Amino acid sequence: MADTASKHIDMTTGSLWRNIPLFAFPVAATSILEQLSNLIATVIIGNFSGDQGTLAMAAVGSNVPLTSLMLNLFIGMSLGSNVVIANAIGRNDQNMVKRAVHTSILMALVGFVVIALGEIFAEPMLAALNVPAETMPLASLYLRVFLLSMPSILLYNFEAAIFRSVGITRMPLQALAVSTVLNIGLDLIFVPILHWGVAGAAIATVAAQLISTLGCFLYAFLKYPELRLHREDWRITRRDVTRHLIQGIPLGLQFSVLAIGIIVMQSVIVQFDTLGGEMVSNAAQNGFGAANKLNNLLMTPLNGLGAAMTSFTAQNLGAGDHARIKKGTVQALIIVWTMCLISIAAGLLLSRGGGYLYIFLSPDKVTAETMRYGNTYLYVDLSLYLFLGFIFVVRNCVQGIGKPQFVLGA
């Protein structure tokens, strides 16, 4: 990609204080935009689904653990491709770059297998999460339609990994911005106007994601001739696939473990709202849910910096510049701790008077108990942010040098 070097961030040269934040901020903005899109969609469903508004929100909410688990698994897999491609770029091995890119695209087609399995086991999976009987029909409908978007979601994430591995971070952000606006617009048509309810919300997600994915493809092929697919490029060897799986499977499992942890935590939180086996309140669930959403937003810039360090270390490892890897890791720690202090201050400010609760919950659900549960969870998380920032940087650096099995073990 030498002919396009001026159009992307080269992590093997230049100022680290400049290049690392330039790479990280669009990645973080992409994640924030995705979370805001999901939040707005939920609000639309709750307010424009008529008498089924409460059930519709519960149906969408009950799918979050499953959809997060699947997305995290394949996001981790796509990061494995990021490592392989960035390493080849650092070595200036154009042939390996092309083979790695095309292997990534082929691996994303496993989304069709996910659709088939999901359609078969949709209700058993939801039943395993103790989804109430009255919510099951809508929850099952949402999941089945949502699964239709898996191929395009996987292709988008692998495409984003390809762009980031060469230092292009704005394109995935721009594509997601278009997808978000389109998703919200379709939600407003399908839910309040056409009254398609939960199915309409899922269809809007599928359509918006597909258009975003196609946009990324067109941009890649028009701007970068070396990424265009030719018949001979599909001759992927077992070694090519193995190289990606060695990097991707540990990362996919790592992300899945974190998602499973959230599922377990949610099942425990419910116990705080029960007495003698009967549900007596929703305060703990509401407080935890709102605080967790705020926590995810506050952590997003830290995750973005981590993604930058994966590409940074992989490129410089390929270039054989170990000294730059060490120097960049130290500077990244200084940057991430500064970002942690800003996130902590923002979290504390939003917690005053339970301010963040009114962002994620309707006023009638904000009670003293909700605030107590939410703030307790939030304050414990914020107290560990400096340690968390250290983990994000070091973990992604280890991933970037091709040792994901150590991260998974930890």
Binned at pLDDT 50, 70 and 90, residue 141 comes out as confident
Binned at pLDDT 50, 70 and 90, residue 4 comes out as very low
Give the C-alpha distances (Å, rounded to integers) separating 198 from 38, 291, 383: 13, 25, 38
**pTM score, two decimals?**
0.72
Q: What is the pLDDT of residues 285-297, one digit of tens each?
A: 888 888 888 888 8
Burial 153-186 (b: 16+ CB within 10 A, else e): bbbbbbbbbbbbbbbbbbbbbebbeebbebbbeb
At 236 the three-state DSSP class reads coil
Residue type, 83: V
Q: What DSSP letter does each residue of 121-161 carry, written as one string?
A: HHHHHHHHTT--TTTHHHHHHHHHHHHTTHHHHHHHHHHHH
Strand partners, 275: 278
| pLDDT at site 339 | 92
Does pLDDT of 71 surpass 80? Answer: no
Please give the angle made by the CA atoms of 52, 54 and 56, to the nearest 5 degrees. 65
C-beta separation of 41 from 190 below 8 A: no
Q: What is the DSSP letter of 84?
A: H
Does pLDDT of 228 surpass 90? Answer: no
Residue 150 neighbours by CB under 8 Å, 6+ apart: 70, 111, 112, 114, 115, 118
CB atoms < 10 A from the CB of 276, how many? 5
**99 burial type by CB count under 10 A (0-12 exposed, 13-18 middle, 19+ buried):** buried
At 278 the three-state DSSP class reads strand
Does pLDDT of 148 surpass 90? Answer: no
| pLDDT at site 206 | 81
- Calpha distance 299→267 (Å, rounded): 23
- Calpha distance 239→216 (Å, rounded): 27
Question: Among candidates 174, 200, 177, which has minimal Cα distance to 187?
Answer: 200
Strand partners, 274: 279
- Calpha distance 58→166 (Å, rounded): 41
Q: What is the pLDDT of residues 9-44, one digit of tens each?
A: 667 777 888 888 877 777 777 777 777 776 777 677
- Calpha distance 342→339 (Å, rounded): 5
Question: Which two tokens mark 289?
Answer: 């849910």
C-beta separation of 265 from 129 below 8 A: no
Q: What is the pLDDT of residues 296-315, one digit of tens each?
A: 889 888 887 887 888 788 88
| pLDDT at site 52 | 63
> Residue 408, CB half-sphere, CA atoms under 13 Å: how many?
19
The DSSP H or E segment spanning 306 is: helix 283-319
- Calpha distance 27→305 (Å, rounded): 8
Residue type, 73: L
Dihedral sign computed on CA atoms, order 203, 208, 213, 215: positive
Residue type, 282: N
Question: Among candidates 145, 317, 335, 331, which has minimal Cα distance to 247?
Answer: 317
C-beta separation of 91 from 319 below 8 A: yes
Does pLDDT of 331 surpass 80? Answer: yes
Residue type, 396: N
Residue type, 376: T
Binned at pLDDT 50, 70 and 90, residue 345 comes out as very high
